[in-house]
Amino acid sequence: MIKERKEYGKQKEYISGIDGLRAIAVIMVFAYHLKLPFAKGGLLGVTVFFVISGFLITRILLQEVNSTNTINLKNFWIRRVRRLVPAILVMITALIFVSAIFNRVLFTKTCSDFLSVLLGFNNWWQIFNHVSYFENVGAPSPLTHCWSLAIEAQFYLLYPLLFIFLAKSKNRKEKIALATLILAFISMALMWLLFDPAKDPSRVYYGTDTRVFSLLFGAFLALIAGNQKGSRKTPAVLRDMIGAASLTGLLFMMAALDGYSSFLYRGGQGIASILTVLVIFSVLNKRSILGKVLSVLPLKWIGDRSYGIYLWHYPIILLISGGKKSSWWIIFVEILLTILFSAVSYRWIETPIRHGVMKKSIDIINSHPRTRRERSIQVQTIKKSLKAVLAVVITGTAVILCIAFIPREKALNNIEELEKQAEKAKEITGQKTAMQQADTAGEEENTTANVQTEEEILNHLNLLLIGDSIALGATDEFYAFFPNSISDAAVSRYTTESFVIYDSYVNEKGWNGDGVIFALGSNGLLYDSLGTLRDMIGTDRPFFIITARAPYASWEESNNQEIYEFAEATDNTYLVDWYKASEGHSEYFVEDETHLTAEGSKAYIECIKTAVLQAYKKTKENYY
């Protein structure tokens, strides 16, 4: 995300092709958050940003250490703060004011997160800030995307220390390159080893240790291609071919791969990083055709403003559409506002501060004017500086007052009620399981042999529902229609947890019922849940799969599509299309548009009931 033209000492030649690569990355991230179909893996744009940042920052460090045999950490860190923080401060300030007026839920989440953003630890804040599941529902924090800036800030803080440590050693460049490469592969290995699809992937996705390899790969390129001698040995045409093929591969991954697929955690992010390295390697060549293509004016314009676009796009999307899939005209407004605010940020905040306007103003104020013109410039500078300081003080005071006194609001107003409901449902499920375990084996071998009515069918069926917090909210309603069945539902449950739950019921609790209901899919990707659980159940038992209604979740559409296809292609598998049944029924949901009202609970169970009766009526011979 960070754009760096000025380096230590003499300015090196600017690599214009990187602007286009940065533009492509921010476009794909933006498109991903807009839920556009061509950017399923658009979050890989962040990986591209990491590689670019690692490359550019290492070039700066390399030039300084070559000139002075050390790194002036104070100056380096001041430049990084000057580049990152002012634009963030302006964005957060605007966000606090606007959300305080128009969206108190987003205001509450912004107030909770803004310090972690400013101090550069937002990624770890998101990992370790274990808030209640129900407090975290609905639209995410509008500062969630700042996790990547935190990783970059931590990289800028720590990586220069490696240069200082090896600065005076023999063959320092080679040693730094080797250490960088080793650290990169360690980081990749940590991502692979720590990823578990049965658990929340936040630790792996947001962790500095599991994501820094992208920055390190970029740094490694800067170290081995810094003087261009080795890279010149590669023919220009071959380099262009490598770059074009790598860029094509990147675009394919961004378009086709789901942003949360297990493949990305098990090598995919590393592949994307290496492809980015190869694209940069290609455009380093002055004669690169790919570099000229990536330097066209529209891409350069977007690349110049990519940092501002990245900062502003996500809060704007959440404020306008809540992050849900929107109509084309809302998308157009979100794009237009993002371009406007990022252009203003670039023109009036980022560029002047990056070019040292504050230092220049201080120097003019402290100078001793010798002419009337110099004195006039000094007076004007003092007046402008006083106005700027006054504006900052007033704005800062207003922000503090907003945070301190404006009432907070959560996505759910009945959190305590939902948490009590979860405890109650857990007790009921335990009692039901104990009752079934107490039944004599084989005593009710074919209790449904003489069933005549729909009510009798439902009363006698022994189904096992494995669900998340949505199903949990309908527990009472479920038992009213399926008194002989079991509903095992819990908050924040992932799809792959269903394997262990099913196995425990069959092998530990002796469950031998009539079918399984899969009521997961709102908290994460399906991964291989459906096929694995279908195999565990066996072909003789019906398998019911409920589609997800989770408008703020990026995986809602892909999960539902997979469910539709799996139900259509798999024998003895039945679709419970809650997504379709709930379409246009806002009365079914509480404030977060995902969890159920009392009316929604009835409709949810009615949806299950209809699918179950349809399945069991097809085998009437078992009942009549």
Q: Catalytic site residues?
A: 469, 592, 595
CA Rg value for the chain: 29
Choose among 352, 185, 205, 215: nearest CA to 264: 205
User: Could you tell me the two tokens for 109?
Assistant: 């989440």
What is the sign of the dihedral through the CA atoms of 263, 569, 558 and 588?
A: negative
Burial 254-282 (b: 16+ CB within 10 A, else e): bbebbbbbbebbeebbbbbbbbbbbbbbb
Burial 139-165 (b: 16+ CB within 10 A, else e): bbbbbbbbbbbbbbbbbbeebbebbee
Rounded to whole angstroms, how far apart are CA atoms 179 and 176?
5
Q: What angle do CA 564, 37, 557 make, to 5 degrees?
A: 30
Pairing mode, if any, of strands 463-467 and 486-489? parallel
Rounded to whole angstroms, how far apart are CA atoms 204 and 196?
9
Whole-Å CA distances, 571 to 515, 519, 544, 566? 13, 19, 11, 9
Torsion angles phi and psi, residue 63, rounded to 5: -65, -40
Largest CA distance in the chain: 109
Length of the chain: 624
Rounded to whole angstroms, how far apart are CA atoms 563 and 577?
9
Whole-Å CA distances, 171 to 174, 204, 225, 231, 597? 6, 34, 15, 19, 68
Q: Would you tell me how many other CB atoms lie within 10 Å of the CB of residue 529?
A: 26
Work out the end-to-end distance of the chain between its first and last CA atoms, rounded to an integer number of angstroms. 67
Choose among 314, 257, 213: nearest CA to 42: 257
3-class secondary-structure state, position 543 = strand
Report the run of H or E that residue 574 belongs to, with start and end.
Answer: strand 573-576
Rounded to whole angstroms, how far apart are CA atoms 415 and 133?
9
Rounded to whole angstroms, how far apart are CA atoms 275 and 602?
51
User: Could you tell me the two tokens for 618?
Assistant: 């097809």
Contacts of 568 (CB under 8 A, 6+ apart): 575
Whole-Å CA distances, 367 to 353, 375, 376, 572? 20, 9, 12, 84
Report the run of H or E that residue 464 belongs to, with start and end.
Answer: strand 463-467
